[in-house]
């Protein structure tokens, strides 16, 4: 006795798996931790491999190359571990353009008040002060 396609019950009234439901946060977190640990696991063997390569070939360039390949592993592991699943079309967008702060904010500028015009100083009087005696 199926009630409706949206309720997702089987004929006995038991709920069935909802495939459109999001993966629980705990499962997402656990998977991200596993990916982090898998990437970080390769860091120690790379350092050991660099030491073994140096002891076999006595060539520092090979060991240095192996170490340089292992340098971005922590960075990649953190980026992958902090990644989240892509947003779905139903997930709300939180960007509000009305509340956007401009890159170079400017203060509000009050209108300039009109002042009474000031009569200019006579030019001759101004020159007399600047002339050294």
According to the model, what pLDDT value does residue 1 have? 43
Q: Is 128 part of any domain?
A: no
According to the model, what pLDDT value does residue 23 have? 77
The answer to whether the beta carbons of residues 36 and 77 sit under 8 Å apart is: yes
Q: Is 72 part of any domain?
A: yes
Domain residues for 41? 24-85
Query: Hey, which of 33-42, 87-96, 108-117 has the most confident mean pLDDT?
Result: 33-42
Mean pLDDT across 35-56: 94
Q: Is 60 part of any domain?
A: yes
According to the model, what pLDDT value does residue 22 have? 73
One DSSP character per residue, 9-65 reads B-TTS-B---TTSPPPHHHHHHHHHHHHHHHHHTHHHHHHHHHHHHHHH--HHHHHH
Q: Is 5 part of any domain?
A: no
Q: Which range among 10-19, 26-35, 65-74, 81-90 shows the weakest confidence by mean pLDDT?
A: 10-19
How many distinct structural domains can be found in the chain?
A: 1
Return the number of other C-beta atoms located less than 10 Å from residue 63's C-beta.
20
Mean pLDDT across 81-107: 75
Q: Is 103 part of any domain?
A: no
Measured CA to CA, the distance from residue 97 to residue 63 in angstroms comes to 52
Span 21-38, pLDDT tens digits: 777 889 999 999 999 999
More confident residue, 33 or 128: 33
Query: Hey, which of 42-46, 80-84, 97-101 has the most confident mean pLDDT?
Result: 42-46
């Amino acid at each position: 006795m199926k009630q409706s396609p949206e309720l997702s019950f089987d004929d006995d009234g038991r709920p069935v798996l909802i495939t459109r439901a999001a993966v629980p946060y705990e499962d997402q977190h656990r998977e991200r931790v596993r990916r982090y640990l898998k990437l970080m696991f390769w860091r120690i063997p790379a350092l050991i491999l660099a030491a073994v390569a140096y002891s076999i070939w006595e060539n520092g360039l090979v060991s240095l190359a192996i170490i340089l390949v292992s340098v971005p592993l922590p960075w990649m592991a953190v980026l992958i571990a902090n990644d989240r699943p892509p947003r779905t079309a139903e997930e709300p967008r939180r960007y509000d353009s009305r509340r956007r702060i401009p890159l170079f904010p400017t203060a509000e500028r009050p209108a300039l008040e009109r002042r009474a015009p000031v009569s200019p100083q006579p030019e001759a009087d101004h020159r007399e002060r600047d002339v050294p005696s």
